[in-house]
Structure 1
Amino acid sequence: MVHEKNDGINKDTVLPQIQQNRPALSWEMKIKKKLKTVPQCLGNFRPTVGQCCHQCTPDSLSKKLGQNSSLGFHNLLSVNETHTRYRGWLVRRVCCVLFVSGCKVYESPVSNRLERVCQRNRVKEALTAEYEAPAGGDCRGQLSHLSKFLPLINTCISSGLLRFLSWVMLKMFSSVFGSIQVNLNHLPALHRASQEGSLLVYVHVRQSIVDYALVPLVLFCHNLRVPYTVCPLHINGSFIRSILQKVGVVLLPPSVLTEQDAEMDSLYSPVMTSLVRELLHEGQAISVGVSAASGRGGQWLARIRQLIKEGSVPDVSLVPVGISYDCVPKANTQVGFSSLWQCFWSLLWRRPEGSVRIHLAQPFSLKEMCESGRCRVDEWLPLQDLLLPVILNNRTDSVFGRRKMSWLLPSSPFASELQEPTHPQRDLSIAIILHLIFSATSCTAVMSTSMVSSLLLYRNHKGVSASALCRDVAWLTEELLFRNKDVGFGGSLEEVVHYSLSLLAPHLIIAAAPSRKDPLIVPRPSLAATVHLTIQAQIVTHAFIFEAVGACAVSAMLCEVVGSGVSSRVRSDGVDGDQVNSDMEFDVVLCQSELTERALQLCHLLPPGFVPPCQSSQSFALDAVDSLVRCGILIMEEIPRDVPICDFWKRDGALTWTTTDDPYHSDSDCDMEEQDPRSYKISQPSQCPEMLFFLCSMLAGHLRTLCWTITGLDLLLHTSLPEAEFVAQIRSHLCDTANNQKQHYESCAEEAAHTAVRSLIDLGVLSEELQKGGVFLGVAPLFQLSENRQKVHRFISQYLYN
């Protein structure tokens, strides 16, 4: 933790003044009036985030040790005359133009790149296999077959056009966002790596199309090499395509709509792998976005990994990038000239809303990660091998191992050998993708709207007063900082809460009657509002994932106790009978081994990016249980003993002496005795049940989606549909279920439906079949029986608290 000498969380990060100067509504005035009694200081510490993994890349981490990592933040949109070499009245009015013209642009030659790509063996083999050309034929005669890839291969960076578009983006983003704050802590390491000739690859988790513009703009404004940006957009207009391709944007081929369609082309993968090789040989940087839900984008990292394994590229430095928004911008993935012009024109008349926080993490060596052997994938098992014995056969112990997520690296019929499902190097590429998703998410800051969204969804879904919400925001901020999670806001608590509610107002119901001194805030019960709040709250769930998994495991054991009919009376001091007051004690003892077992089984159902990739599932489950002890939900049960635990001398066989020449002797022989079984109880404080339910609610949406999806399989038992149509049918069922219940709309989001279907495929409930029209999904024969589907439903629903 780095101590900040200021009176706020982030002194150099302020809320956009335009939000505070505009006329306030009636409920805003009441909130401001109510908040005058709240302390003005939220905290004095900022965590250090974005460091390398100490387990996989200790050598890369050691380069950072001993250096000052508190350099503050830079607002990208705050350009003034101090950023130029000139001063004066005229300079202050054209300072943005002078600043852009003074930024360094690295050359990007494209000379004979097409010939170099064609000379690669993988391209020659693909052309030979596709068009039955002679293996030793002249490559120039086959250039006509690569005509659709020529614009992609000839992508370049024009210095003049890059400066102009950077100036346009700075002006446009100033109309969209209040500020774009860039963490400066790891920029010296990036400059040093660039000067040493390291090849940099920036990786971020896809959220919006704006991501692809922010990363190059940040690097350009800080005099770093602007990367070639892999952007999976379908651009209709040839004029827009030509402009983007001259600033380093690698688009999809004009004839395809999606990345999946492009990968189905037999020439696309070898040509793109060869293009990446040539770009890295030229010393260029690359920017890639990875989707945590579908795995799209990970194939580019697999191509780089393949080039390093072949020796074509010596090494690259991977840089996770965390991007967080106050409100995630919505943008269409299919862009035409007319739509782009309308979007740009509307932005000019739009009031800035929200801020952006960007964290560039410390670069680490991909070669070190792959060849050191520290990134282990030998314990990966299919999900059905991990959970089906427990679900169908009622086994009490789980199979140890990590869930294998092969779908994170989509393979095509024409993919390279490293992408074949049975290839041993494939799992290592998937591990790298998982590692980068987790690293980029871990260094992403938590915005104020994310905190308010999580509190309204998971802690106060029935409504909360403004004063209570302020206390919860102050508490949650401290908890996040304690978990080494940076926050993307600053200022007084009054400003933070008022600013967040102003941005989230379209998705909230705020009751501010004249007779009510304290306004009541309730999430709007609609699909759009709930999904928006859920997206904002995901980063908070990521920070509390240990506690959330442990809380769901406790909830599952408590439900089992209640369902078994065992007396679980609630005792209360000073109250007769079974009456309960605020201070209560559950007469239930939870066994540590069984509690850890429940947490272990649940962690296999989590979406990618939540479980640390370098941590085993068993260690994750133990940490989940320990986290509940640290936050005060569980307390260790004291077991009376005749001999104290610390009295080792009186325990029989505690210390056994052996001869020094015993070949089977080890220093851990005295630890061979089984550990004493531990047990826990629910703690006494009245806030414990509320905290337990708050943590359980974080995973309730994902688990409920799985349960509803299993219920919806009754309508699809004897049908086999294409994957897209199957997911659409499931999502329609999820929306109908949520509309009938008039709640839980977060469980019917499009991403939630995709994640649930993928989990059921890995679990073996759904079967995949590759046909001529693509991948078809259907219910597996084993789960055609209603009894087996009910077992899966019962297993998942045990973690849902009621």
Structure 2
Amino acid sequence: MVHEKNDGKDKDMILPLIQQNRPALSWEFKIKKRLKTVPSCLGKFRPLVGQCCHQCTPESLRKKLGQTSLGFQNLLSVNETHTRYRGWLVRRVCSALFVSGCKVHASPAGNRLERVSQSNRVKEALTAAPEGGDGRGQLSHLSPLLSLINTCISPGFLRFLSWVMLKMFSSVFGSVQVNLNHLPPLHRASEEGSPLLYVHVRQSAADSALIPLVLFCHNLRVPYSVCPLHITSFFIRSVLQKVGVILLPPSAPTEQDAETDGLYAPVMTSLVRELLHEGQALSVGVSAASGGGGRWLARVTQLIKEGSVPDVRLVPVGISYDRVPETDAEVGLSSVFWWLWSLLWTTPEGSVRVHFAQPFSLKEMCESGRCRADEWLPLQDLLLPVILDNRAGCVFGRRRMSWLLPSSRCASEPDEAPRHPEGDLAVSVVLHLIFSAASCTAVMATSLVSSLLLYRHRKGVSASALSRDVSWLTEELLFRNKDVGFGGSLEAVVRYSLALLFPHLIVAAVSSRKDPFIAPHPSLAATMHLHLQAQVVTHAFILEAVGACAVSAMLCEVVRSGGVSSRVRSDGVDGEQVSGDMEFDVMLGQSELTERALQLCHLLPPGFMPPCQSSQSFALDAIDSLVRCGILIMEEIPREVHICDFWKKDGALSWTTSDDPYRSDSDCEAEEQELRSYKISRPSQCPEMLFFLCGMLAGHMRALCWATGCLDLLPAPLPEVEFVAQVHSHLCDAANQKKQHYESCSKEAARTAVRSLIDLGVLAEERRRGEGVFLSVAPLFQSPENRKKLQRFVSQYLFN
């Protein structure tokens, strides 16, 4: 966190260093000694993050964020100055006094059950239910959902649980930093009358607790939070439902299982409607891999479209961890007690940064028509013709991701709702919020160091070289308007990061070396931890990563065709440092290069691309980003008539400029010479940067390539859950066999790869009544030749 000296609110902003009561290791002294010559470059500039989209919500954008001099506040640093009292005893109980003085907006359930049961959608669902009678007979079907409907916010329980959470988080984290510049817009939005809906990307169960705690401590309305965990303890469920936590039904272990109940969807939609009518705020976590939480956002979008709710203000929330806390999907009383017991022996380490983005109107997004989804096409329509060599060009459009909106019907019934325009609009809103929440997420020190070690220095690096790269990458992040969650001297940042990542690193600090040597541990747990931390850096460099992969794909094709004047590295697929010089005497055409980038865009996981930007525009920006960062040099071919042609393809962005005012568009339909081309700048220095950018997407592409290769080893058909488990097992076996690339064998990578194969038409879905969805290889890809074509297409982006 940047240390600002204009006031006293940032006195806790400097990252905590190694614990003073713990003896320092020898390598820490060596690092400190070597870093004395490295100048500090952090904390000089802080970008303004969290602004809403200028294209989808221009009216909301006019309401600017708060002042830029409020700084940050450590939520866990509660002292007597936060209370109205002073004295020795006050300093001992200042947390309790602070909690008792915070404003609470009580929300009793009242007659909410009656209002929900009398809604038209619930009446229709009860009538359609089997053995549905009248009156009390129908209400008996609601008995499993009564506790969810009666969720309320009790002031006494809320104050007590907030005090407990302050103590618990103090035992886990060193600090929880809140950007105070983002709080005044929340106060103004809450006073305007529209309820607020906070949306974050799910990382841990701590997310759902941090947001209400921050809002409570700053006298804002505590939201009703949707909890995706399966909580089995009746006592814990009763306590959480008193503080506004909407839980899953006791009989449903997952959200998808709950949605298969015919009554759950209409009852929850009616519950959301009643909460919004009461003016209550909501908090929802969204998963980009599985689509969890998307149905709740679709319910709010549906209420806005039908006019049941006037408007809702959406607030993306970015939460950054130095180390993401691990949580189980199922929570019982015994597991909670064991976790509380472990806190007694745990030293608080790491910090958390919370960013609240600018609130924007959901009604404006839905009714303005700017958030469009009419160009969405199935992935097999976009890429299958290219993969199977049936056409040379690329189909323009956006990939339809209807699976981000899990079906609310029974698994035995066909679901055509996602193809409905309202369903596409809901998916577009989900994608927009995932991207917005990820965009306002700060880059922590451990994320920055993890990205460097995993993608640039996988074989190891000296401490001084790592520090120079940390300084360089920090400036690049700030240049891209990405906030960082650390501050202080460069020495403190590097030492702090290495101390937190130490269990996942190999540090060689011997007297014969001037510099300690640092390398990531070549194990599954270490690689997965570093990969998880580095995702936020990948999001910041996604344009450059897509462009670099497109350049790598073209260079690989040039190498295979023999068009390179000198030797090119062909054995470095891991992103190691390149030894020797690389000279490329080759020109890369703009059309071909942009086509490769566009094809890669269709394979990206959700959340990386702005949903309000076309894929072809994103591909053009990806190539331009390589020119800005110095990897490519653009060269124009002189022509008699000056025509500025940006990628002349069917429906792509193209325009002409000429002195002839009567020149028609038909004059440009004929094939013309390539107007622009690119060549690599300083080939002897750029490969390391090029492979660093390519490595950010290599884990995802390699998982898709491995998943395609193991299709002939899987029995078919299999249930979808079991099929994903089998693919995950094969990915782990492939990584263990190679003793590397463990970032490609996570459960999320397996789930994303299977979903991409379904969208490509490689896997066929079959719905069986009472048994769910079964997956099998489609007839078109039962041919080994077609599977090899798919593998060849994906592997071209792995910088072989």
- Does TM, normalized by the shorter one, top 0.5? yes
Does residue 411 of the first structure (1) align with residue 407 of the second (2)? yes
Alignment of 1:477-492 (within 5 A): 477-492=474-489
Is contact 2:190-2:196 (8 Å) kept?
yes
Shift of 1:611: 0.7
Partners of 2:781 and 2:666 in 1: how far apart?
Answer: 47
**C-alpha contact 2:642 2:658 (8 A) present in aligned 1:** no
Matches within 5 A, 1:88-237: 88-133=87-132, 137-138=134-135, 140-237=136-233
2:268 equivalent to 1:264: no
Matches of 1:591 and 1:330, distance apart in 2 = 47
Distance 1:146 1:70 in 2: 51
Match of 1:782 among 780, 783, 789: 780
- The structure-2 alpha-carbon separation of the partners of 1:83 and 1:728, relative to structure 1 and needing over 3 Å to count, comes to same
Residue matched to 2:308: 312
The residue that corresponds to 1:575 in the other structure is none
**Alignment of structure 1 residues 265-280 onto 2, 5 Å:** 265-280=261-276
1:510-542 CA distance string (max 9 Å, x none)? 111222221111111111110010000000000
Q: Does 1:547 align with 2:551?
A: no
Please give the TM-score of this superposition, normalised by the length of structure 1: 0.93
Secondary structure at the aligned position of 2:418 is classed as coil
Of 325, 329, 336, the residue aligned with 1:329 is: 325
Q: Tell me which residue corresponds to 2:763.
A: 766
SS in 1 for 2:225: strand
Counterparts of 2:775 and 2:189, CA distance in 1: 47
**1:43·1:478 contact (CA, 8 Å) conserved in 2?**
no
| Mapped partners of 2:724, 2:19: distance in 1 | 40
Whether the 8 Å CA contact 1:4–1:45 is kept in 2: the answer is: no
- Whether contact under 8 Å (1:411, 1:419) holds in the other structure is no
1:69–1:186 CA contact under 8 A, matched in 2: no
Distance 1:418 1:283 in 2: 33
Match of 2:529 among 527, 532, 539: 532
Q: Kindly indicate whether residue 445 of structure 2 is the aligned counterpart of residue 465 of structure 1.
A: no
Residue 676 of structure 1, CA deviation? 6.0
CA offset digits 1:627-649 (Å, max 9, x no partner):
00000000012546689999xxx
Structure 2 residue aligned with 1:662 = none
Q: In the superposition, relative to structure 1, how do residues 88 and 253 fare at CA in structure 2: closer, same or farther (>3 Å)?
A: same
Which residue in 1 is equivalent to 2:634?
Answer: 636
| Residue 22 of structure 1, CA deviation | 2.8
Q: Determine helix, strand or coil for the equivalent of 1:791.
A: helix
Q: Distance in 2 between matches of 1:246 and 1:644?
A: 70
1:418 touches 1:425 (CA, 8 Å); kept in 2? no
Rate the CA distance shift 1:657–1:383 in 2: closer, same or farther, 3 A.
Answer: closer
Unaligned segments of structure 2, at least 5 residues = 569-577, 645-655
Residue 649 of structure 1: aligned partner: none
- Is the contact between residue 315 and residue 366 of structure 1 (CA under 8 Å) also seen in structure 2? yes
Deviation string 1:669-710 (CA, Å, 9 cap, x unpaired) is: 999997961000000164311100100111111111011001
Question: Residue 161 of structure 2: SS of its match in structure 1?
Answer: helix
Alignment of 1:25-104 (within 5 A): 25-64=25-64, 68-104=67-103
Q: C-alpha distance in 2, partners of 1:612/1:445?
A: 18
The answer (yes or no) to whether the contact 1:458–1:697 under 8 Å persists in 2 is yes
Distance change (3 Å), C-alpha of 1:442 and 1:782: same
Within 5 Å, give how 1:285-304 maps onto structure 2. 285-304=281-300
Task: Provide the C-alpha distance between the structure 2 equivalents of 1:602 and 1:313, rounded to a whole number of angstroms.
Answer: 39
AA matched with 1:630:
R
Q: Which moved more, 1:633-642 or 1:537-546?
A: 633-642
- Alpha-carbon distance change, 672 to 707 in structure 1, aligned in 2, over 3 angstroms: closer
Secondary structure at 2:467 match in 1: helix
Asked if structure 1 preserves the Cα contact closer than 8 Å seen for 2:175 and 2:350, the reply is yes
TM-score, scaled to structure 2: 0.93
**Cα deviation, residue 182, structure 1:** 0.6
Q: Distance in 2 between matches of 1:765 and 1:688?
A: 36
Change (3 A) 1:465 1:112: same
C-alpha contact (below 8 Å) 1:308/1:314 kept by paired residues: yes
Q: Deviations over 1:47-83 (max 9, x none)?
A: 1100110000000001117x53442111100111111
User: What letter is aligned with 1:688?
Assistant: C
- Quick check: 1:741 aligned with 2:738? yes
Q: Is the 8 A contact 2:39 2:490 kept in 1?
A: yes
* CA distance 1:414–1:738, change in 2 (3 Å): closer
The offset of 1:419, in angstroms, is 7.2
For 1:499-648, what aligned pairs fall within 5 Å after superposition? 499-569=496-566, 585-637=583-635, 639=637
C-alpha separation between the residues in 2 aligned to 1:627 and 1:475? 17
State the AA in 1 paired with 2:624. Answer: D
SS in 2 for 1:78: coil
* Distance in 2 (alpha carbons) for counterparts of 1:588 and 1:257: 56
Q: Is the 8 A contact 1:205 1:440 kept in 2?
A: yes
8 Å Cα contact 2:632/2:680 also seen in 1: yes
**Which position in structure 2 is the counterpart of 1:372?**
368
Q: Compute the displacement of 1:711 (Å).
A: 0.6
Aligned length: 774
1:240 to 236, 244, 251: 236
C-alpha change, 1:12 and 1:478, in structure 2 (3 Å) is farther
Alignment partners' CA distance in 2, 1:51 and 1:535: 26
Cα drift, residue 301 of structure 1: 0.4
RMSD: 2.5
Cα shift at 1:11: 7.7
Answer yes or no: is the 8 Å Cα contact 2:73–2:177 preserved in 1: yes
In the alignment, the residues of structure 2 paired with residue 595 and residue 371 of structure 1 have an alpha-carbon distance, to the nearest angstrom, of 37
Partner SS, residue 55 of structure 1: coil
- Within 1, Cα distance between the matches of 2:16 and 2:3? 25
Shift of 1:360: 0.5
Q: Which amino acid aligns with 2:737?
A: N
Q: Residue 710 of structure 2: SS of its match in structure 1?
A: helix
- Given the superposition, is the C-alpha separation of residues 11 and 798 from structure 1 closer, same or farther in structure 2, using an over 3 Å criterion? farther
The correspondence for 2:711, drawn from 707, 710, 713, is 713
Q: Amino acid of the residue matched to residue 693 of structure 1?
A: F
Change (3 A) 1:4 1:687: farther
Partner SS, residue 461 of structure 1: coil
Q: Give the deviation of 1:132 after TM superposition.
A: 4.4
2:647 is aligned to none
Letter in 2 for 1:188: P
Letter in 1 for 2:92: R
SS of the equivalent of 1:467 reads helix
* Distance in 2 of aligned mates of 1:365 and 1:419: 28
The alpha carbon displacement at 1:462 in A equals 0.5
Secondary structure, aligned partner of 1:557: helix
State the Cα distance separating 1:566 from its structure 2 match: 2.8
Name the SS of the counterpart of 1:344 in structure 2: helix
SS in 2 for 1:801: coil
Is 2:360 the partner of 1:356?
no
Contact 2:384–2:760 (CA under 8 A) maintained in structure 1: yes
Amino acid in the other structure paired with 1:91: V
* Local SS of the residue matching 1:623: helix
Cα separation, 2, equivalents of 1:531 and 1:699 = 14
Q: Secondary structure at the match of 2:491?
A: helix
Alignment of 1:402-481 (within 5 A): 402-414=398-410, 420-481=417-478
Bigger CA drift: 181-190 or 552-561?
181-190
Counterparts in 2 of 1:738 and 1:148: CA distance versus 1, 3 Å: same
Task: Give the corresponding residue for 1:576.
Answer: none
Question: 1:425–1:418: structure 2 CA closer, same or farther, 3 Å change rule?
Answer: farther
Does the C-alpha gap of structure 1 residues 498 and 657 become closer, same or farther in structure 2, counting only changes over 3 Å? closer
